[in-house]
Amino acid sequence: MAVKIRLSRAGAKKTPHYRVIVADARSPRDGRFLERVGTYNPLLPRDHPDRVKLKLDRIKYWLEKGAQPTGRVAKFLGSADVIPMPKHENPIKAKPKAKAQARLDELAHAKTQDSSEASGSDVAEEIGSAAGGSSGDDKVSAEPVDETEANKKNETEESEIDEATEADASVAEPTNETEEPDASGITDKDAGSVEPTDESKADEVRKSEKPEVEK
């Protein structure tokens, strides 16, 4: 048969007192037992020597026979260095409820978002600083090229201006072959080719119409 080392309740209402017993696993909590191997009084302080009393030699005997302690008794035996201390596992009751779990999920999600935003801003700052350094180097290396191009442009513009001014001067200045016009705007060369005006024609007609004077 399966044998358990467990607690059996005694005492009045709201003043519990437990016995540590060895009993058949099929027996009820406060039913028949095989042997009483200790006591447990939860009303006493934790450091009180009478809080837990155990018959360690009899407990070891039953453990050798294959008896299995319950959770609470296993803690007592672990603190007494009879068996290894069992690992504490939270029961289902200790798990947070639905609303509390939702709040915990929201907090965890907010933390992950904050961490991702912080890492993204750090990466952007690093990229910006790297880009700023590379652009500064590019500007420094590009300055001589810009100066040479500007000098070439200035030289071409100056040469074009000089050519234009020379052409204007050659057109505006009179040469030795041409004659300066007089106040009327007609040169001596053009005087012979000027057509007679109406007044000169009328004078010629009058001279032709005058009768010759007899000598």
Are the beta carbons of 53 and 38 closer than 8 angstroms? Answer: yes
Which is higher by pLDDT, 210 or 201?
201
Contact 3, 24 (CB under 8 A): yes
Name the DSSP letter for residue 73: H
Q: What is the pLDDT of residues 48-104, one digit of tens each?
A: 999 999 999 999 999 998 999 998 999 999 988 888 888 876 667 677 788 888 998
- Residue 67: closest CA among 33, 90, 41: 33
> Residues of 184-204 as b/e, b for ≥16 C-beta within 10 angstroms?
eeeeeeeeeeeeeeeeeeeee
Q: What is the DSSP letter of 30?
A: T
For 36, counting Cβ atoms within 10 Å of its Cβ (0-12 exposed, 13-18 middle, 19+ buried), the class is: middle
Q: Specify the DSSP class assigned to residue 122.
A: H
Amino acid identity of 64?
Answer: E
Give residue 201's pLDDT. Answer: 64
By the 10 Å C-beta count (0-12 exposed, 13-18 middle, 19+ buried), 51 is classed as: middle
CA-based nearest residue to 36, from 20, 25, 51, 58:
20
| pTM > 0.75 | no
The architecture (CATH level 2) of 3-89 comes to: 2-Layer Sandwich (3.30)
pLDDT value for 115:
83
d(CA 38, CA 20): 5
**pLDDT at position 215:** 41
The per-residue pLDDT for 195 is: 53
Tokens 């050798």 -> residue? 64
Sequence spans of domains, the chain: 3-89, 91-171
User: Rounded to 10 degrees, what is the CA torsion of 123, 124, 130, 136?
Assistant: -170
- Mean pLDDT highest for which of 40-54, 162-176, 193-207? 40-54
